[in-house]
Every structure is written in C-alpha cells, then in structure tokens.
Amino acid sequence: MIIIHRHSKDNFIKEMSLRKINDETVENVIGEFFICLNATGWKHAEPFFKNSHMNVINSYFDDVEQDGPKEIQWFNNTTKTIEAKAITVKQAIELKLFIETIPDNSTVYVYCAKGLSRSAAVESYISEIKNNVILDLPGMNPRVYKFLKEV
C-alpha cells in the first residue's frame, strides 16, 4: 500500500520546511518519493527541488487539456493570459516510469500549483495501479490521468 499526500505547492513548501527536507537532505529520507508538477510560467515554474534525486521527479506542464492561451487569476483580482502547455506523451512516460519504481509501503508526496487538478490525476493513477483503489477525485485533469493510463 502506498500512502499519498497531495498538496498545493505552497503547502508542500511549508511541510518540507517544517520537516527540513530540501535538496541537501531529500535523499536521506527513506521510503518517501516526491512528484513535483510545476507549471511553465510564473512562480509555479520554479521547482522546490532544483537538483536531480533518485526519489524526486520534476515535470513542467500546465493545468490544461491542450496547448494554447489560458486566462489565470493574477494579483489584485486581475487576470493574465499565458501560453499554457499541456502534458506531453514523453512527460507522461517519464512520470509513469518513476511511479513504477516506487516500492510498496512507501509514501508519495505530489504537488501542483493549487493541489487540485494535475496532482489529483496523479494521485488517482497511483492509487489505482499501486493500491487497487479507484478514486474519482473531483476536478482532476482528465488529460493527465488519460495519458498516464494509456502510455
């Protein structure tokens, strides 16, 4: 059984700070794996873990089903249009291969900007293939889930 903790990026940063987990200490954490779903722009494009680690994967795509313009909430209740990038087949394969290496009885932390769509799709996929539990999480990104299932 895999334990999954899904977070917004801000909450993930708070928890890692409390636990003193960072690039220097993450490889000393036994039985824990970190799936970091970073956006392609703004502050959410900056990964928490900046170096490569055996128990960390950084992936960069936005919460969209296809590439193209997307309006996002910005400061002071304004909106901004970004050129969003959807998950690619290559990224889905990389995520799937990483997930397949996670042993039973491990703990997985997964984050995306808000902890709602991309990370929910990954949580649902992990739960299904590792725990044999199908989750129907509201708001999960259908493209992310579909790509993980089909690649």
The domain that contains 38 carries what CATH number? Answer: 3.90.190
**Distance separating alpha carbons of residues 77 and 138, to the nearest angstrom:** 25
Structure confidence at residue 15 (pLDDT): 98
Within 8 A by CB and 6+ apart from 10, the residues are none
Average pLDDT over residues 117-136: 96
Question: Number of structural domains, the chain?
Answer: 1
Alpha-carbon distances, residue 76 vs 52, 70, 71, 80, 141 (angstroms): 36, 18, 15, 11, 26
Over the stretch 24-47, which tens digit does the pLDDT of each residue have? 999 999 999 999 999 998 778 999
Round the average pLDDT of the chain to a whole number and report it.
95
pLDDT number for residue 75: 66
Alpha-carbon torsion angle 73, 46, 94, 14, nearest 10: -90
Range of the domain at 45: 3-150
3-state secondary structure of 128: helix
User: What pLDDT is stored for residue 145 in this prediction?
Assistant: 98
> Residue 56 CB: number of other CB atoms within 10 A?
22
Closest by CA to 48, choosing from 8, 88, 81, is: 8
Mind listing the pLDDT tens digit for each residue in 69-96? Answer: 988 776 678 888 889 999 999 999 999 9
* Average confidence (pLDDT) over 124-140: 95
**This model's pTM is above 0.85:** yes
Per residue in 50-65, pLDDT (tens digit) is: 999 999 999 999 999 9
Residue 70 to residues 23, 25, 28, 38, 117: CA-CA distances in angstroms? 32, 36, 39, 16, 15
